[in-house]
Amino acid sequence: MMIRLLLPLVAGLLFAGVASAAQVRLVTGDDYAPFTGQSLPAGGMLTELVQRTLQQAGHQTSLAWLPWKRGYRAALKGQFDATYPYLASGEREADYLFSTPLYVTTRHLFSRAGDAWEPDDSARLMGKRMCLPLGWQPPASFARLLEAGQLHLHEPQDLTACARLVEMGRDDFFIADSLLGERAIFLSGTGSASFNISRGSVGSSSLHLLVPRNRSDAQQLIDQFDSALRQLQESGEYARIIEAHRKHALSGR
């Protein structure tokens, strides 16, 4: 009799254990160094961080690499449980719940050494040539200067090209997150001594893990993730992950 009474309890505990260890299916895109990339160590800074955070929360993970738009849509269709890293936007927030920030980007103005320009010095920037990779959106304040014809725009294929063009004097400055800008300078082979980085910033934004709202336990997964991320931050492991990938991005080691 006692055995029959205990069997449902034991079965319940076993099923609960299976559920808690359910695999979280992740999808991300390639070529967003140093944040994601199949050729990067551990798949990039934020790939390692997301997987380690979910592990801290008690989850196993699988990871698929798809073109960005395809992966985004596939997660909405239920083929994946979460995707990353994305900036917040009204359109995305209608479909997804956002984690707390994985990483905060801060944009600065990169100019040649000796040209110590600041983002709010519009009078000195007037008539200058800004380099912005094709497809990138300029910060709002610089978009207004471009629309007014007070700035000229050059759009090469990538940020590394911008670093080379500024160093050569063909363009006057580019705007990028501090880490992405420093990495572009490293990859260009020009050397950091050739550049000035503005003290003031052109704004900041944050990158997030996204979980589809149509997932039945979306809020629970986000809450677990956010709690585990805080634990990594408090233990110092978050900083170690970020710094290791920053070092690789700026030195190749």
For 8-52, what is each residue's pLDDT tens digit?
Answer: 444 444 444 434 457 999 999 998 999 999 999 999 999 999 999
| 34, 188, 204, 239, 252 from 245: Cα distances, Å | 7, 19, 20, 10, 9
pLDDT surpassing 80 at residue 73: yes
- Of the candidates 200, 197, 155, the one whose C-alpha atom is nearest the C-alpha of residue 180 is 197
pLDDT surpassing 60 at residue 159: yes
User: Which residues, listed in sequence order, are joined to residue 131 by a DSSP beta bridge?
Assistant: 154, 174
Single pTM value for the model = 0.82
pLDDT surpassing 50 at residue 2: no
Q: 20-104+205-251 adopts what CATH topology?
A: D-Maltodextrin-Binding Protein; domain 2 (3.40.190)
pLDDT surpassing 90 at residue 156: yes
- Of the candidates 61, 54, 56, the one whose C-alpha atom is nearest the C-alpha of residue 23 is 61
Query: Which burial class, exposed, middle or buried, applies to 21 when counting CB atoms under 10 A from its CB (0-12, 13-18, 19+)?
Result: exposed
Which residue, chain included where needed, has tokens 């991300």?
Answer: 28
DSSP conformational letter for 101: P
Give domain 105-197's CATH number out of 2.40.50.140, 3.40.50.720, 3.40.190.10, 3.30.1950.10: 3.40.190.10
Helices within the chain (DSSP H only): 2-20, 45-56, 68-76, 90-95, 122-125, 140-147, 159-168, 178-188, 218-235, 237-251
pLDDT surpassing 70 at residue 99: yes
Task: Report pLDDT for 137.
Answer: 86
116 or 228, higher pLDDT: 228
Instruction: List, in order, residues 6 or more apart from 88 with CB less than 8 Å away.
Output: 98, 205, 206, 208
Amino acid found at 170: R
Query: Are 219 and 7 spatial neighbours (Cβ–Cβ below 8 Å)?
Result: no
Query: Which burial class, exposed, middle or buried, applies to 26 when counting CB atoms under 10 A from its CB (0-12, 13-18, 19+)?
Result: buried
User: Which residues, listed in sequence order, are joined to residue 87 by a DSSP beta bridge?
Assistant: 207
Write down the domain spans for the chain: 20-104+205-251, 105-197
What average pLDDT does this structure show over 126-154? Answer: 93
Band of residue 122 on the pLDDT scale cut at 50, 70, 90: confident
Task: Report pLDDT for 3.
Answer: 44
What average pLDDT does this structure show over 94-120? Answer: 95
- Of the candidates 252, 105, 87, the one whose C-alpha atom is nearest the C-alpha of residue 175 is 105
- The span from the CA of 191 to the CA of 150, in Å, is 29
